[in-house]
Every structure is written in structure tokens, then in C-alpha cells.
Amino acid sequence: MKTTARKLLGQGAITNLQERVAALEDDVEELRRQNLRLAEIADVVQELLVPLASRDQERVDAALKSFPGSV
């Protein structure tokens, strides 16, 4: 298969495709990191909103105290 692809596309095209795939893999990894970070932020927001909605000031204070360390 490699020999056939090289014959049809040429080495330059193969190298170009390999570079594009590597760039796409880097982008996917960055998106995974961003999605994880977004999930962490959503968890922090939930930790703040639930106690606020239930008017549990003790839990609100505890969540606010731990907030800077989680960001």
C-alpha cells in the first residue's frame, strides 16, 4: 500500500499528509484539554449554584474558599 500511495501521490504529497495528520492530532489533544478544563469549571459552578439555590451559606463559603485552588 505504501509503495502504491507513493507512486500515485509522490513523496511530497505523502509528507504533506503526514504533517497535516500530526497537526490535526495536536489540535485534537488541545481540544481534549480544553474540554477537561470546561468540565472542571462546570463542576465548580455547580458546587456554587446548588448551595446558593438551597441557601446553604456554610456550603457556599466552603466552595468559595476552595475556588481559587481549583482554577
DSSP string, 2-69: HHHHHHHH-HHHHHHHHHHHHHHHHHHHHHHHHHHHHHHHHHHHHHHHHHHHTT-HHHHHHHHHHHHH
The predicted pLDDT at position 4 comes to: 77
Domain that includes residue 53, residue range: 2-70
Task: Give the CA distances from residue 10 to residues 2, 6, 15, in Å, rounded to whole numbers and listed in that order.
Answer: 11, 5, 9
**pLDDT for the residue 37:** 94
Q: How many domains does the chain contain in total?
A: 1
What pLDDT does 71 receive? Answer: 52
pLDDT in tens, 4-47: 777 777 888 889 999 999 999 999 999 999 999 999 889 888 88
> Which is more confidently placed, 70 or 52?
52
Picking from 37, 38, 35, 61, the residue whose alpha carbon sits closest to that of residue 48 is 61
pLDDT above 80 for 51: no
